């Protein structure tokens, strides 16, 4: 599954192309890619036709485009979803599921192609609701996050303070300006589950998946089964710092790509896979102590760790 860095790479690439653009055409080639769209709210294409796009926003692994209608186009990449920018008339991308034709005042006409090999991802037009804390709903890269809010006049918050109903249950991610470290650490101290299970709980903290959880736990020298409520305050802060550091480093490298699955809007892969310390490196020496790294079964996936540096205490 793509994690925060991979989704942020897509959001950052989309933002300059779609912000201020108008959707002039919608083509749906695979109805299954609309599984999360509530048809009772209206026909997918009709809700998008002639609508202006105000921004590209992300919270955790979720991405959405606020519209001047007061709704939002929610994009969920699933396991293999890609959002690619193409010039009109370009060759059709393999596994193309949905295409948006947009017109931008500066960039002219563009195609936004939603490509998804396994059809686990989706697009949906969703209603918006105020955030619980009254803060900006997610990261948009815009100063103040409120440019172009006319379409939501009367809400008192503008689009920046509204979140799609499908995303409202997701916690803030550790790179979100509205993320509260004290609140997260207090909630973590009440969790009796293993620490990795807590990090993967998107209602506690969002954006972290298997790869970056393993990397952060290695950096903080914490075993993945260590009960979350057993961490000292200092160790909790160290782990959160490691999470932020790993995510920021991955962002700088364009995310993690092991194949052609996770790419930016131009189809380019990220390079953070070359800097991983533990994930997928079982049988190789620990870069810190030289002990052979191991892979152990965890839920329906695997955990990678150094048995010496990350002892269960």
φ, ψ (nearest 5 deg) of residue 244: -65, -40
The CA distances from residue 150 to 16, 98, 159, 163, in Å, are 19, 28, 9, 16
CB 24 within 8 A of CB 50: yes
CB 80 within 8 A of CB 117: yes
Q: What are the catalytic residues?
A: 2-3, 61, 301
Q: Which residue has the tokens 């695979």?
A: 30
**Of 190, 43, 185, the residue nearest 124 (C-alpha):** 43
Q: Which residue has the tokens 């998804």?
A: 116
CB 305 within 8 A of CB 222: no
What single DSSP character describes residue 301? E
How far is residue 124's CA from residue 137's CA, in Å, rounded to a whole number?
18
- DSSP three-state, residue 31: helix
């Amino acid at each position: 599954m793509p994690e925060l860095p991979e989704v942020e790479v897509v959001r950052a690439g989309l933002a300059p192309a779609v912000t201020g653009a108008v959707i002039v055409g919608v083509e749906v080639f695979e109805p299954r890619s609309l599984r999360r769209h509530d048809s009772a709210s209206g026909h997918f294409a009709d809700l998008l036709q002639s609508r202006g796009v105000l921004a590209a926003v992300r919270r955790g692994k979720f991405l959405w485009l606020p519209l001047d209608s007061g709704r939002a186009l929610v994009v969920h990449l699933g396991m293999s979803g890609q959002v690619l920018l193409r010039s009109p008339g370009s060759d059709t991308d393999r596994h193309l599921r949905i295409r948006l034709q947009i017109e931008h005042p500066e960039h002219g006409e563009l195609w936004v192609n939603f490509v998804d090999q396994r059809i686990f991802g989706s697009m949906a037009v969703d209603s918006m609701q105020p955030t619980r804390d009254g803060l900006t709903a997610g990261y948009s890269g815009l100063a103040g996050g409120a440019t172009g809010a006319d379409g939501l006049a009367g809400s008192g918050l503008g689009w920046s303070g509204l979140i799609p109903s499908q995303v409202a249950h997701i916690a803030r991610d550790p790179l979100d300006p509205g993320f509260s470290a004290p609140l997260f650490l207090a909630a973590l101290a009440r969790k009796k589950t293993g620490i990795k299970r807590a990090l993967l709980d998107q209602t506690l903290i969002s954006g972290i998946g298997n790869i970056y959880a393993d990397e952060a736990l290695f950096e903080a020298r914490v075993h993945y089964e260590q009960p979350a409520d057993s961490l000292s305050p200092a160790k909790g802060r160290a782990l959160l710092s490691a999470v932020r550091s790993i995510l920021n480093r991955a962002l700088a490298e364009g995310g993690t790509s092991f194949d052609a699955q996770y790419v930016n809007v131009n189809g380019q892969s990220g390079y953070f896979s070359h800097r991983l310390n533990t994930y997928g490196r079982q049988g190789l020496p620990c870069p810190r102590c030289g002990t052979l790294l191991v892979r152990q079964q965890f839920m329906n996936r695997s955990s990678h760790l150094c048995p010496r540096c990350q002892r269960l205490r």
